[in-house]
Amino acid sequence: MVTDFRQKDIAEVFSTPIVQQTAFWSEVKRRMGVESIACNFSVSSSDIYDAESQDKVITSDILVMLKPVDDRHTIAYVPYGPELEPYGEFQGLFLEELSECLRTRLPEGCIMIRYDLAWESWWARDENAFNREGMWLGPPAQRLQELRFNFNTIQHNFRKAPSNILPSNTIFLDLRKDEADLLRAMKPKTKYNIGLSGRRGVTVTVSGIEDLGKWYMLYTETARRNGFYLHSIDYFRAVLASRAKDTLSPAEVYLLIAEKEGQPLAAMFLVITKNRGTYLYGASSSQQRNLMATYALQWKAIRLAKERGCTEYDMFGISPNADPDHPMYGLYRFKTGFGGQIFHAMGCWDYPMQEEVYSYFTARELKSQGYHIN
């Protein structure tokens, strides 16, 4: 199935809308001390699609982050990759062969490959996975997921990871629509709040690294308010400084800040790769929330992505459904207001390569509620 597997230079990583599978992302991580490798591979279309598909050779690639967990062991982490997505019944076998090819390029102490799959969940279109009100109930129990994923594999070795690292639920906006149609697709309250923010004097500007302090002030406040992982300011400096313009998969990065009379109220990072704009990071102040600055900020980012030639916009992260008890429900309520289509991905899947060490690692991971390895 998988042929012509070879390692290549990071600069040769193919252009892709997936931020985390670009040379740009590799450069961001390199600046933060995380190394990565890139590999090409080929596969016949008849091996990953249905038998009636035209038989042709598809060449794709994969970007892998190498994250040490101690002095002797490493995790190979594949953020939102591979991009090539086989039909459901072929996914496990394809990924198994790819994993065995990757094994020869990984450090001796690598305990597993963790794929953070952006492939659509098998249950996203299953009518039995929705309740009477149309709410998605999510995938079934872990054991049932693993039985289905390992169907057709030889070693039956894939495990559903204890938790996902990158968001597995998001919303995509179709930027091929004109601005009037985008506004019409929004919920009335969202559209009203966009106008309200302008009437109340909120302005949104494209800023540079000189305003990173404003971003980090808002970001720190947001992280403490919501209890999520706090990156260092150096991390965001790396995101702004890394462009990878001399590669096949560069990125445009914009720091947008919403203010009123010089007071920062909300900010975000917009990253453009290929035909997609991604709302990668966001932050807001607890003060003057009645000014609806986050709505003005998001609308500016959507229009900027459209101006830059994007055909889609990734809202990047919501709860799987409208459950008020979910910690990301606030993001679900805010982001669904802008319209678009909800997308449910497969999330993290592990391919253990040192079984005993892998079991120990995942036990620790469950106890600590996840390692931050993205």
Q: Grade residue 363 by pLDDT with cuts at 50, 70 and 90.
A: confident
Is residue 306, in this structure, part of any structural domain at all?
Answer: yes
Quick check: is 331 in a domain?
Answer: no
Instruction: Say if residue 33 is in the same domain as residue 110.
Output: yes
Domain that holds residue 354: 2-167+345-368
Can you tell me the mean pLDDT for 104-126? 96
Residues 42 and 182 in one domain: no
* Percentage with pLDDT > 70 across the chain: 97
Model confidence at 370, in pLDDT bands (50, 70, 90)?
Answer: very low
Within a domain: 244: yes
Residues 162 and 181 in one domain: no
My answer on whether 158 and 82 are in the same domain is yes
For residues 192 and 160, membership in a common domain is answered with: no
Give the predicted TM-score (pTM) of the model.
Answer: 0.95
Query: Which two structure tokens, joined as six digits, stand for 251?
Result: 């990125």
- In this prediction, residues 70-97 reach a mean pLDDT of 96
pLDDT score for 232: 94
Q: For residue 92, give the nearest of 272, 351, 284 by alpha carbon.
A: 351
**Same domain flag for 132 and 198:** no
Residue 208 and residue 141 share a domain? no
Q: Which of 254-258, 336-340, 354-358, 368-372 has the lowest mean pLDDT?
A: 368-372
Identify the pLDDT of residue 53. Answer: 66
Find out whether 205 and 252 touch, Cβ atoms under 8 Å. Answer: no
Model confidence at 72, pLDDT cuts 50, 70, 90, reads very high
- pLDDT score at 171: 98
Indicate if the pLDDT at residue 51 is higher than 70. no
**Structure token pair of residue 248:** 């096949």
185 and 292 both lie in a single domain: yes
Same domain assignment for residues 231 and 356: no
Domain stops at, among 310, 329, 360: 310
- Please give the tally of structural domains in the chain: 2
- 174-220 pLDDT, tens digit each: 999 999 999 999 999 999 999 999 999 999 999 999 999 999 999 99
Which pLDDT value is given to residue 369?
54
Encoded tokens for 169: 């639920």
Query: Distance between alpha carbon 179 and the CA centroid of its chain, in Å?
Result: 25
Q: Is residue 150 part of a domain?
A: yes
Structure confidence by residue, pLDDT tens digits, 222-270: 999 988 888 999 999 999 999 899 999 999 999 999 999 999 999 999 9
pLDDT of 65 over the 70 cut = yes
Regarding predicted confidence, which is higher, 229 or 349?
Answer: 349
Return d(Cα 166, Cα 65) in angstroms, integer: 14
What CATH number is attached to the domain comprising 362?
3.40.630.30
**Residue 340: inside a domain, yes or no?**
no
215 belongs to a structural domain: yes
Assign 371 a pLDDT band (cuts: 50, 70, 90). very low
pLDDT attached to residue 259: 98
Under 8 Å between Cβ of 237 and 209: yes
Q: Cβ distance 66 to 29 under 8 Å?
A: no
pLDDT of residue 91: 96
In this structure, is residue 321 part of a structural domain? no
Residues 139 and 22 in one domain: yes
When the pLDDT of each residue in the chain is averaged and rounded to a whole number, the result is 94
Taking residues 138-167, what's their average pLDDT?
A: 95
268 and 199 together in one domain: yes
- DSSP state letters, 89-126: HHHHHHHHHHHHHHHTTS-TTEEEEEEEEEEEPTTTT-
Q: Residue 373 — pLDDT band, cuts 50, 70, 90?
A: very low
Report whether 301 contacts 267 (CB < 8 A).
Answer: no
Length of the chain: 374
The structure tokens listed for 308 are 């830059």
Domain finish residue from 266, 286, 310: 310
**Residue 6 pLDDT more than 60?**
yes
Is residue 287 one of the residues assigned to a domain?
yes
The answer on 278 and 184 residing in a single domain is yes
Indicate if the pLDDT at residue 8 is higher than 90: yes
